[in-house]
Chain A
Amino acid sequence: MNFLTFWRGVKAGVKNFFRNGWLSVATISIIVLTLFLINIVFLITVVSNKTLENVQDKIDVSLYLKADADESSIKNLESDIKKIGGVKDLKFVSKEEALQDFKEKHKNDEIILKSIEELGNPLQPSFSIKMDRPEEYQQIFQKVKENDIKGVISDVDYYSQKKPVVEKLSEITKSIRKIGLLVVAIFAAIAVLVTFNSVRLTMHNYRREVEIMKLVGAGHWFIRLPFIVEGMLYGFFSAWISILIFYPLIYFLSPYLNRAIEVMDIVEYLNSNAIKIVAIQLFCGVFLGALSSLIAIRKYLKI
């Protein structure tokens, strides 16, 4: 196919698009609706993921060291832990800092404060560890314990206290992610089917035209190109329209949304990811439109 033929195909597609008038409008509205639904589902997924991240962030596990552990062993242990992947945050808390924290926490409780002063400083230095994924805690503590030849580690509050919480949380995270993915997949499938069907209906109008094209000796790509261009235009306009509905709607609803969703600012999220969202939307729309018409027109190419 030379450039002239290509250019003519593109031009014919654009012309068809505008000459189709109401049919184009109908097809676009359906694609807009599905893209819009996908946007909503996508946003719900983002918010629920953010909520989970927030909860996970609040969990940290302490690795208690023996009170007499010397500095070099502590340094060694620290670099050992850092070597293990998946550690999000690692903080060393010395005996003195631990005491400070303790006093701060119980500053209203006279009895506890008094008794701790009598005892001196019974607290142990510790590492407070945060992992990317909660299910990794168990592994990391096993590894650390294996490496601890000198025996500086005295205790981990993981097994006794936090394990059930962490496990429950990672279970919830996993199932929410799975459900989210499933819902997005279902909606995407619906979008593809609906788009495909409405483009196919539009293309049904062209069966005569295709027949004529073939009879005057048009090659297959010469026939396909205008339809692909038309399909892409459907996707292109639908994507923009769906964005132009979605963004203002969220802005308008943002005061209510922000009250309901505390973990994140949705408008801020949409703004900082605007280019990505628009690009993905356009790509999906255009790709979907082109693919639908390509498949739809195949049926009529067999003469």
Chain B
Amino acid sequence: MIHFRNVSKIYTGDVVALRDVNLDIGKGEFVSVVGQSGTGKSTLLKMIILEEKPTIGQVFFNERDVMTIGNREIPYYRRRIGVVFQDFKLIPKRTVFENVSFALEVAGKSNKEIKTNVGQILEIVGLSEKAIKYPTQLSGGEQQRVAIARALVHHPAVLVADEPTGNLDMINTWEIIELLVRINKLGTTVLLATHNKEMVDRLNRRVIALDKGNIIRDQLEGKYMI
């Protein structure tokens, strides 16, 4: 589903973020990308959502080279991928419901569709009762669940999560991870970037370890080892 072919990313000033990366991620997989800060985890994920482009090499999504996606097409492309960030990226002036429904409004869905879909997804993440609250009235864990709901509401094929638990305490972290596992079971491919060792070890899923831009390990039932 997602393929990296000899991908390197060099930022200005000769900072190498990724070096000759080759990678295949299949449909329905749960993949953790681990490594120290600054090893290229985020760059890898950003390439999938087209926030960054490879300096050398190709990235394919569903057999299509993402470099061939024109600027006008990018919004449509991004609607097929859900993204979650460490800092949640919620709009503070919108309620929980509005933050989630936003992803559907963007796609031009009808009000009726939006109501049903948002209702369902808020139930999945356990926030039905907080639909009319604003993000600042929620705990960190709850805010992240809103972000996940927003990422999933348009039924994307892939969920990309960049350090989603980085700002959360242990209990909230586990809630989020359990949620991601549940979502993966429902058929969504999950790509998780993290440096939380304990979490990765307990997940017991595929682990890709990065170090200084290189893939140093790729194990199907991996542990956090660098």
Contacts and interface: CB of A to CB of B under 8 A. Distances in A.
Interface of A: 2, 4-5, 8, 16, 19, 208-209, 211-220, 222, 303
Nearest to A5: B108
Given A2-B108, A217-B78, A218-B75, A19 B93 contact: yes
B49 interface: yes
Interface string B117-132: 0000000000000000
A222 B89 CA distance: 19
Given A2-B108, A222-B106, A303-B51, A212 B91 contact: yes
Contact of A211 (B75, B89, B105): B89
Given A212-B91, A216-B78, A217-B79, A4 B106 contact: no
Report, nearest first, the 5 A-B pairs whose CB atoms are least far apart.
A217-B79, A217-B78, A218-B106, A216-B103, A217-B75
A42 to B, nearest CB: 38
A8 B109 CA distance: 11
B70 to A, nearest CB: 13
Among A4, A216, A217: residue with most chain B CB under 10 A = A216
Interface string B74-108: 01111100010000011101000000001101111
Nearest to A220: B75
A246 B106 CA distance: 42
B68 interface: no
Given A215-B51, A217-B106, 9 more contacts: A4-B110, A212-B89, A212-B91, A215-B83, A216-B102, A219-B72, A219-B106, A222-B75, A222-B106
Nearest to B160: A215
A216 B108 contact: no
A224 to B, nearest CB: 13
B53 interface: no
A216 B110 contact: no
Contacts of A208: 89, 91
B49 A215 contact: yes
B79 A216 contact: yes
Contacts of B91: 208-209, 212
B109 to A, nearest CB: 9
Interface centre among A5, A8, A217, A222 (most CB of B within 10 A): A217
29 contacts: A4-B108, A5-B105, A5-B108, A8-B105, A16-B93, A19-B93, A208-B91, A211-B89, A212-B89, A212-B90, A213-B102, A213-B106, A214-B75, A215-B83, A215-B89, A216-B78, A216-B79, A216-B83, A216-B102, A216-B103, A216-B106, A216-B150, A216-B151, A217-B76, A217-B77, A217-B79, A217-B106, A219-B106, A220-B75
